[in-house]
Chains A and B, each alone.
Chain A
Amino acid sequence: MDRAVHLDGITKRFPGVVANDNVTLEVERGGVHALLGENGAGKTTLMNVLYGLYEPTEGRVVVDGTEREFDAPADAIDAGIGMIHQHFMLVDPMTVTENITLGNEPRKWGGLAVDRATAREEVQELSDRYGFAVDPDATIADVSVGVQQRVEILKALYRGADTLILDEPTAVLTPQEVDELFAVFEELTDAGKTIIFITHKLGEAMTAADDITVLRDGKGVATVPAAETTRESLAEMMVGREVLMDTSDRPHDPGAETLRVEGVSVTDDRGVPAVDDVSFSVREGEIFGIAGVDGNGQAELIEAITGLRDPSSGRIDFEGEDIGSWSRRDRIDAGMAYVPEDRHERGLVMEFDLTESGILGSQHGEPFTSNGRIDWDVARDHASNIVETYDVRPPDIGAKSAALSGGNQQKFIVGREFERDPSLFVAAHPTRGVDIGSTEFIHERLFALRDDGDGVLVVSSKLDEVQLLADRLAVIHDGTLMAVVDPDDVTEEELGLLMAGERPARQLESQRVDGGEP
């Protein structure tokens, strides 16, 4: 086998954590290799070792048959490794050509000036060779996320990469863009390039990859050819036990409106309108989903509902009362739970231990506080209870919030919000970064809340998740609700079109936006 990359027995330890434990990865030249695992399984750490961001504690890195020691990404780039991070590193006001050649510009006049004409030619030639259809003169800010991703790939190729690492490349894409990305993979491998991509989505690994390596708890479980495996066996390898794929049953019997949003417009931090005249309602005993590509106003809309942002116009009613003038604390006290989109910024205080983070939002009321004094014993019991019930690891309530992996931080926040016993549960990406087993558990709890007659509002860019959870599903694009649809009666392609701001051929708006009695 001709190996482009061979990671041999890689171990990477951080203080108190073994992120990679003797992992071996062999990647065949000219193939697509998926690195599959739950969050915190050590996928990104392993790739950061290959890209020179981390020095391995033990083990060898072999590229093209030569053992290498990378001190920095620059060394890895020299060895023909390119990495495309999930968050693009592009300069928005600059053109595609400028971004691709940045730092490696062709020179003229003895190195004194950038040879723009040659740069443009080279980029055009590179783009044509792989059939990318990228306009070299377009400004980054003007092109879609999918094109930006291709620019990142071109940037790596321009620097001479033979092996491309992509970290969760599909996270920011619509379903159509995902298909296009996988077509790009084929073009690249046909040209002899090697691709390693990180994912925790089984379907993607099965579709796009030739070989799949599964990581669990920092250890390599197995490497299998995609053609010879099944979703079930992959899921079992990831989780370490048999997983029942979620099935949806909808005893949809909603009651009165618990949340009503009427003509709400919200501006973002820069004062630019982000949400434009949105109306909908969530009823008791109902899960209302909002799907959309990140950055289409869902974050601002949720913040307006939960009291973190003042809407510029419109009216929000909670249990029949206009809550426009209510403070964030009033809304918490009235029974509104909220899983925020950004767990590092908002959901947890990173320097606090879990006991302290566990009472965030409840620090003023019973049972934790009486007469202004916090009873830390009660708080500790509370944190222990969350950690135990929601399988937060490590199960140490004295650990700093920052010390937990992202998925475990998320489980802790979700647990804390469930424990509020809310009458309205607002969740932005409730299972973001959470492993399959815990995702299943969180979904069950959301269903249980609904079945108890509480209202649930879920925002997610994971289509399969909102489709599974929601009783009614709204699609948001560019600050407006495109449609509210029946999630069982809509295809992923139709949702993708709506998320991209286009109307599918079939009439979908089967339900009234305000969700009134049929």
Chain B
Amino acid sequence: MSARDRIERALTRLVTASATERLAISLAALFASILVGTVLILGAGRITECATATFVLTHPTPFGLPRLFELGFCYNPVTVYDRLFLGALGDPLSAGWDPFGRQMALTLRETTVLLFTGLGVAVAFRAGIFNIGAQGQLVVGSLASALAVLQVAPLVGGAPGTAVSLTVGLAVGALGGGLYAAIPGLLKAYADANEVITTIMLNFIATGVVGYLVLNHVKDPDSFATQTRTIPDHANFPTILFEPTANFSVIALAVGVVLVGVIYYLLAHTAFGYDVRTSGLQPEAAEYGGVDAKRTIVASFGLSGALAGIGGALYALMILGKFQTGVPSYGFDGITVSILAGNNPLGVGFAAFLFGILKSGAGVVNFATEVPPQLVATLRGLIILFVAMPEFFRLLGGRMKGVQRRLGRESDGGETDA
């Protein structure tokens, strides 16, 4: 059996894997990434100098023989992974676990924002569009939302004020992100411009223009930072249930979970979703089926941007309480979240949670160990890479001729006739 045969056989197996098998594969990949990461941690721990070794490996001495070696490592891989995962969840295995504690709140805060950007990218992917511009759409949505709430909040006070401000904030964030995403949508639909290029460029434009606007027109005069004035407290997302200093609102998470359901329903149960999926899978068939390709491109781009824009609104209204330049890369992480989830809206929830754990867990590791942040970032990257790879190979395998042949899809390919 040739090497090519082996590869094709393995990919075929992967393509035909059931949902349970895929879950098992993901867990195995996670485990493998931890093994590789352990080797990295040990290696790095050997070449670093430290006063006391935190991890010591000794040769067992069963017959009272002298020890052959005793190796010390500066970093303890068990501690690192313990902090990364359990630390991020606020130590669920310890007796005094507080599921509403600060660390859990931080994890869920990251999860919430990534839920929106991931969902946005996934919607575009399903329509056959690669939206790399989620970051720019998030930035635009974030500023638009902050400015709108700064206008609205002083008008209505109290609990009604919170409701009105948040509704307006989310709506304006969605509108801002959606309109900004409509630009590459229109360019693709009517000028045949490749969306990968236009969205990358529009990311730079968004950051630049927003920075200019804040600095020159809406800057908080009392601050040295490039930021808007602070939004009144009653117009922020209320931090109920959870530790308030973590700036996490379970209401925002609830909105996210509802939207996951809405997007799932939209794709699976509406004519619009049918058009989107058909366009994404087979544009020629969509054209045959009477789908208006241009409209579908613009609409799915707009929807994608609106979701990223809501993520931006949360950044302003939940995390910061204002808009400030230097927005973290939620939009780019959203691309990875979406791929990790196989572009499935329901999967985005889980992928965003994994990302949230890794992001907040990294902070815990930095705090609890001497391991340098660069190494922690590498470990995170390894986990994402390993977990995403099986999905990647599934996508790849599904397109390979040899694999399709093995699946018997081409078994009648030669038999067209005249």
Contact = CB atoms under 8 A, between A and B. Distances in A.
Contacts of A63: none
Contacts of A85: 414
A173 B282 CA distance: 31
A19 B418 contact: no
A369 B408 contact: no
Given A71-B5, A347-B285, A374-B271, A405 B412 contact: yes
Given A327-B292, A328-B287, A373-B269, A349 B412 contact: no
A372 interface: yes
Contacts of A317: none
B411 A45 contact: yes
Contacts of B407: 14-15
B342 to A, nearest CB: 13
A403 B275 CA distance: 22
A405 B411 contact: yes
A345 interface: yes
A508 interface: no
Task: State the main secondary structure of chain A at its contact with B.
Answer: loop
A349 B278 contact: yes
Contacts of B291: 329
A167 interface: yes
Given A349-B278, A360-B288, A168 B414 contact: yes
B1 interface: yes
B326 interface: no
B414 to A, nearest CB: 4
Nearest to A14: B408
A42 B411 CA distance: 8
A308 B287 contact: yes
A432 B5 contact: no
Contacts of A202: none
Given A349-B285, A360-B285, A171 B271 contact: no
B417 A363 contact: no
B42 to A, nearest CB: 43
Interface in B4-19: 5, 16
Given A14-B406, A19-B408, A71-B2, A167 B414 contact: yes
Nearest to B417: A171
Contacts of B274: 356, 359, 363, 374
B281 interface: yes
A54 B405 CA distance: 9
A43 B5 CA distance: 23
Interface string B398-410: 0000000111110
Contact of A71 (B1, B281, B408): B1
A348 B411 contact: no
Interface in A73-93: 85-86
A172 B290 CA distance: 31
B270 interface: yes
Given A71-B2, A346-B284, A346-B285, A406 B416 contact: yes
What size tier do the contact residues of chain A reach?
35 or more
A361 B288 contact: yes
Contact of A346 (B277, B288, B412, B417): B288
A327 B290 contact: yes
A158 to B, nearest CB: 22
Contact of A352 (B272, B281, B284, B290): B281
B16 to A, nearest CB: 6
Contact of A348 (B285, B416, B417, B418): B285
A342 B290 CA distance: 16
A44 B411 contact: yes
A44 B416 contact: no
Most buried by A among B275, B291, B416: B416
Contact of B415 (A327, A338, A406): A406
B418 A170 contact: yes
Contacts of A361: 288-290
A146 B288 CA distance: 32
A328 B291 CA distance: 8
Most buried by A among B287, B292, B405: B287
A373 B270 contact: yes
B278 A360 contact: yes
A329 B290 contact: yes
22 contacts: A39-B417, A40-B412, A44-B414, A171-B418, A172-B418, A328-B287, A328-B290, A340-B288, A348-B285, A349-B281, A350-B282, A356-B274, A359-B274, A360-B288, A361-B289, A363-B274, A364-B271, A372-B270, A403-B409, A433-B415, A433-B416, A462-B418
